[in-house]
Amino acid sequence: MTHSIHDVGRRPVRSWSGLFAAAVMLAVLGLCLSPPAARSAEKEKQQVSRVIAKEMTAAQKALQASQWAEAIKNLDAAETKSPLTAFDKKTIYDFRGFAYVKLNNLKEAEKAYEAALATGQYSPEDAAKTTKMLFRISAGNQQYAKAAEYGKQMSDSGTASADDLGIMAQLYYLQKDCKDSGVWADKAIAAARKAGEAPKENLYQFKLQCASDAGDNPAMAAVLVDLIRLTNKTSYWNTLLRIERQEERDDHNTLMIYRVMYDTNAMNAGTDYIEMAQLLGDAALPAEAQTVLQKAMDTGLIKDEQKERTNRLLAALKTRADADKKGITQLDAEATKNPAGELDVKLGEVYYGTGDYQNAITAITRGMQKGQVKHADEGYVYLGRSQVALKNTADAKRAFGGLKTVPNESPRVLKLWELYAETLGKS
């Protein structure tokens, strides 16, 4: 089964909606850790009217005993009494909202908390907490526009957390409003960073899906870079590299992109391995080409109809690679004597293909010091790759850093190798 670039990582809106409701429910429960009765006893100077004292005491005991239905029964009885003060009503509604949340009845909880807030009897601190509660509950009830209004109030008052801003991004995404989803995702990302926390992956996924739906490859690539920095997942590497390869027309740069794809384990199609092997063969690197193609064969990525042709190519590469290995000592001697560095770098690339990474480093370093290297970018890349193979991360980063000194280097290739270097040492 084949997928286009814009299918990769796609999650239907309805799937996000289901995940969202579950996450919101957990968040609401987190805001309701203790009965409101305890809060009232500590903070409120006012007291409920005597006319409802009996019912409210019974409701409070029921809440403390986790008898939610019993609590609601007593609260309903209290509401029938008169006269009731605004504070009485606020307390009844607040207790009722808590009980309904515990019963997982968010629609009734929303009505109760809205009624409590409308009384104007909350302290500023508790009003802010109740607004946050209503924000989460209305989101969980899929009342996205209403939830967004509560979210804006919280943002304007400075009480919105990074998680709240993230919920706002998701609210707009679920309403298929990609512009505002992106705005709030950026706010959530900035808030998380300001708090010293890693931004949530889903914030970038909303932006990625919106860019994908719009067929906007540059926007997709920019978000994928952020996702790779955040997670270093091969799936994001794969999508980014396919976008970049699709836009590339030069064989030299295409092979450079394939090298990143191979080194990040992001290559998952047999045709990619075949094309990379062919390009390596054309670049006089048959040993590396053989290794690449053999990996595709060993992992079962070569389709039955491709096997005959692939086996012929593999056999031809093996013959050439064996010849290179036999002549490598002589090539080393010639390269050492040559005043230009071109032959040393080529020698280092051959050493890399045979798995002799230390000699690859020696030869390439010598060649780069001599100068007169036709493709200095390849020199830095193979030097870096050899250091990676030997687990010398700091030296590898330095080697890849040399790419920015190469005149007329492809910005696309430079960006990808710099990103790869940045992720070295991460899981």
Q: How would DSSP label each residue in 184-246? A: HHHHHHHHHHHTT-PPPHHHHHHHHHHHHHTT-HHHHHHHHHHHHHHH--HHHHHHHHHHHHH
- Residue 79 maps to a domain: yes
CA–CA distances in Å: residue 394 to residues 1, 254, 260, 327: 40, 26, 18, 32
3-state helix, strand, coil in the chain (%, to 5): 75, 0, 25
Query: Could you tell me the two tokens for 285?
Result: 């690197």
Measured distance CA(254)–CA(413) in Å, rounded: 9
Query: 56: domain CATH number?
Result: 1.25.40.10
Which residue's structure tokens are 């009897």? 121
Overall pTM surpassing 0.85 (yes/no):
no
Under 8 Å between Cβ of 44 and 56: no
- Residue 13 maps to a domain: yes
- Residue 138 maps to a domain: yes
Q: What is the pLDDT of residue 28?
A: 52
Under 8 Å between Cβ of 177 and 148: no
- Residue 78 maps to a domain: yes
Q: What is the pLDDT of residue 42?
A: 45
347 CB-near residues (< 8 Å, 6+ apart): 328, 331, 332, 335, 363, 367
- Residue 271 maps to a domain: no
Measured distance CA(71)–CA(354) in Å, rounded: 76
Q: ∠ CA 278-279-281 to the nearest 5 degrees?
A: 65
End-to-end CA distance of the chain: 29
CA-wise closest residue to 365 among 345, 386, 351: 345
Q: How many CB atoms lie within 10 A of CB 10?
A: 13
Q: ∠ CA 261-264-270 to the nearest 5 degrees?
A: 50
Which residues in the chain come in under a pLDDT of 50? Answer: 1-3, 5, 8-14, 16, 19, 22, 29, 33, 37-38, 40-42
293 CB-near residues (< 8 Å, 6+ apart): 273, 274, 277, 310, 313, 314, 317
Q: Which amino acid is at 105?
A: N
DSSP letter for 424, please. Answer: T
Under 8 Å between Cβ of 136 and 167: yes
CA–CA distances in Å: residue 123 to residues 132, 318, 342: 14, 79, 76
Report the largest interatomic distance among the alpha carbons of the chain, rounded to a whole angstrom.
105
What is the domain count for the chain?
1
Domain that holds residue 58: 8-195
Q: What is the pLDDT of residue 9?
A: 45
- Residue 289 maps to a domain: no
- Residue 427 maps to a domain: no
- Residue 188 maps to a domain: yes
